[in-house]
Chain A
Amino acid sequence: MFGSVFGRNNQSIRLVVGLNQIDKMLPNGWDERLNMPDERAEREIQRRSNDIINRLARYADISASNIEYYSALKRYRLLPLLSKIIRNAYAGFKLDHVQPADPFELADPEVREFAEEQRREREKKRGTREPSAKDRMFDEMKKILSEDELNLILDKFRQERQLPPKVAIFGKAGVGKTTTINSLFNARWKTSHTVVGTTQAQMKEFELSTGGTLNVLDLPGYGRSVSEDREYEKIYQKMIPSCDLVFLIVQANTRDFADDQEMILKVSEWLKDSPQPQR
Chain B
Amino acid sequence: MEDLTILFFGKTGVGKSSTLNKLFGLNWAVDDSVVCTKEPQFCYLDQLHWDNLNLPYKQVQVVDMPGIGESISDDENYMTFYEEWMPKTHSLVWVTQADTRAYKRDEIFLLKLSSLFSHSLFLTVALNKIDYLGVDDGEEGFNAETGRPSEDQLRRVNDKIDDIYGIFKGAIGEKLVFEKNQIVPYTSIYGWGMQDLKEKILLRG
Contacts and interface: CB of A to CB of B under 8 A. Distances in A.
B180 interface: no
A226 B107 CA distance: 7
B100 A173 contact: yes
Interface of B is mostly: loop
A33 B134 CA distance: 24
A256 interface: yes
Interface in A162-186: 172-174
A172 B69 CA distance: 15
3 closest Cβ pairs, A-B complex: A223-B102, A173-B101, A174-B101
Interface string A209-246: 00000000000011111101100000000000000000
B33 interface: yes
B12 A256 contact: yes
A224 B12 contact: no
Contacts of A259: 102, 104-105
Contacts of B69: 255-256, 258
A48 B12 CA distance: 16
Among B67, B100, B108, find the residue whose CB has the most chain A CB atoms closer than 10 A: B100
Contact of A255 (B12, B72, B111): B12
B200 interface: no
Given A48-B33, A172-B100, 16 more contacts: A172-B102, A174-B99, A174-B101, A221-B102, A223-B104, A224-B167, A225-B103, A225-B107, A225-B167, A229-B104, A255-B12, A255-B70, A256-B105, A258-B72, A259-B102, A259-B104
Contact of A173 (B13, B102, B105): B102
A174 B12 contact: no
Contacts of A172: 100, 102
Nearest to A174: B101
Nearest to A227: B170
B116 interface: no
A255 to B, nearest CB: 4
Contacts of B107: 225-226
Nearest to B12: A255
A174 B99 CA distance: 9
Interface string A24-61: 00000000000000000000000010000000000000
A254 B100 CA distance: 11
Interface residues of B, number: 22
Contacts of B135: none
A194 to B, nearest CB: 24
A227 to B, nearest CB: 8
A174 B33 contact: no
B35 interface: yes
B11 interface: yes
Contacts of B105: 223, 256, 258-259
Contacts of B35: 255
Contacts of A255: 12-13, 35, 67, 69-70
A172 B103 CA distance: 10
A255 B97 CA distance: 13
A255 B74 CA distance: 14
Contacts of B104: 222-226, 228-229, 259
A174 B100 contact: yes
Nearest to B72: A258
Contacts of B101: 173-174, 221, 224
B179 to A, nearest CB: 19
B103 A224 contact: yes
Contacts of B103: 223-225
Contacts of A223: 102-105
B157 to A, nearest CB: 16
A256 B13 contact: yes
A223 B71 CA distance: 16
